[in-house]
């Protein structure tokens, strides 16, 4: 997308139909019809985002909880989400909002109010999270542009199913994204999650190319996506297609939503995946949701750069964007 082109949220078709341009589903909607996400509707030939201005969850978190380990360590982030999602993951930890389509219009927060809230709470960034932010992009962008003007970073926590045009548009205001790489099996993506692996891979590559800081999260579920073949393929993709500097967060699954009968992920499974990632030259691999401290070390000299004891205690030993011992530049968003 060239600089003079504007990203249009929908494309008008004949007979009052429209095509939603927000995600890769590209839903074609008749008048009155709602997309797969449940919250974008064709209202008289115009795309209306039904959750615009209506967050369902707003919290102040440590940025490490997103998880983002290479963006403003030990800072606060204002996190919010709405109802609705364009995926149907059976293990979703926020399924009560992501799979809901009930919009509470009594809760109304304007873009200006959301940024004011972030400033009031000392947050240095705003995270569009909890459900899939792609589906409330018109709301997110209006907030994000004001935040950017006021010196606040913008973070997308996403399943990576954005349209290519949206990713190009995001590059103008989104500083960082944590993107889920949920599996290396396209049929699993399509049949179970109702998404697509190739689309997510394309989004990840496009985000990196457009200069958005990217960290990748894989929720490891034993028997679903933890085979050595899948883990190695994911690690190799990150290393070779995105960059060895891209952080990979390996997160433990806990029984939830439609998978309450499934076992939680063992620490040994995460450690095995971490070892494979290291074999594939990934420099920053972090274990999440398992109670293990996540430290960042200089890949050049192994000096401890950032120590994390849960989310409560984060100590940053870096000098700006460099290792204090060998002056190696550490990739990330540090100011």
3-state secondary structure 182-210: CCCCHHHHHHHHCCCHHHHHHHHHHHHHC
CA distance 86 to 99: 9
Task: Give the chain's residues under pLDDT 50.
Answer: 1-4
Which pLDDT score, from 0 to 100, does residue 3 have? 45
CA distance 24 to 40: 14
Percent of the chain with pLDDT over 70: 99
Q: What is the pTM of this model?
A: 0.97
- Residue among 282, 323, 291, 287 at smallest CA distance from 306: 323
Task: Give me the residue label for tokens 């420099």.
Answer: 283
Alpha carbon of residue 7 to chain centroid? 20
Q: What are the C-alpha distances in Å from 102 to residues 14, 82, 91, 105, 277? A: 30, 10, 21, 9, 41
Give the class (CATH, top level) of 57-292: alpha beta
Which pLDDT score, from 0 to 100, does residue 134 have? 98
Task: Give me the residue label for tokens 């679903």.
Answer: 224
Which pLDDT score, from 0 to 100, does residue 2 have? 45
Which pLDDT score, from 0 to 100, does residue 311 have? 79
Q: pLDDT per residue over 152-171, tens digit each?
A: 999 999 999 999 999 999 99
What are the sequence ranges of the domains in the chain? 10-49, 57-292, 293-335
Asked, as a colleague might, if the bond just before 67 is cis with ω within 30 of 0, I would say yes
For 173, other C-beta atoms within 10 Å of its C-beta total: 17
Quick check: 312 and 50 in contact, CB under 8 A? no
Which pLDDT score, from 0 to 100, does residue 310 have? 78
b/e code 267-294 from CB counts within 10 Å (16+ = b): eebbebbbebbeebebbbbbbbbbebeb
């Amino acid at each position: 997308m060239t600089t003079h082109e504007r990203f249009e949220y929908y494309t008008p078709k004949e007979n009052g139909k429209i095509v939603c341009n927000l995600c890769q589903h590209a839903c074609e909607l008749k008048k009155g019809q709602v997309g797969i996400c449940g919250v974008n509707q064709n209202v008289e030939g115009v795309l209306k985002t039904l959750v615009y201005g209506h967050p369902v969850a707003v919290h102040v978190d440590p940025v490490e909880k997103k998880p983002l380990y290479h963006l403003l360590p030990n800072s606060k982030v204002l996190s919010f989400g709405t109802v609705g999602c364009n995926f149907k993951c059976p293990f979703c930890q926020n399924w009560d909002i992501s799979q809901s389509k009930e919009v509470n219009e009594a809760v109304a927060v304007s873009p200006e109010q959301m940024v004011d809230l972030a400033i009031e709470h000392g947050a240095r960034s705003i995270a569009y999270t909890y459900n899939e932010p792609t589906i409330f992009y018109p709301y997110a962008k209006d907030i994000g542009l004001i935040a950017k003007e006021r010196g606040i970073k913008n973070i997308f926590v996403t399943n990576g199913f954005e349209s290519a045009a949206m990713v190009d548009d995001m590059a103008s205001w989104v500083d960082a994204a944590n993107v889920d790489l949920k599996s290396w099996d396209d049929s699993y993506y399509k049949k179970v999650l109702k998404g697509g692996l190739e689309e997510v891979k394309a989004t990840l590559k496009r985000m990196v190319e457009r200069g958005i800081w990217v960290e990748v999260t894989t929720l490891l579920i034993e028997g679903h996506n933890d085979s050595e073949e899948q883990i190695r393929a994911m690690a190799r993709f990150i290393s070779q297609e995105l960059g060895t500097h891209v952080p990979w967060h390996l997160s433990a699954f806990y029984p939830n939503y439609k998978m309450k009968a499934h076992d939680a992920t063992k620490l040994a499974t995460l450690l095995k995946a971490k070892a494979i990632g290291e074999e594939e030259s990934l420099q920053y691999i972090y274990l999440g949701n398992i109670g293990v401290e996540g430290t960042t070390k200089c890949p050049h000299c192994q000096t401890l750069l950032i120590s994390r004891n849960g989310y409560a205690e984060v100590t940053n030993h870096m000098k700006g964007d460099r290792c204090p011992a060998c002056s190696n530049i550490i990739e990330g968003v540090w100011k």
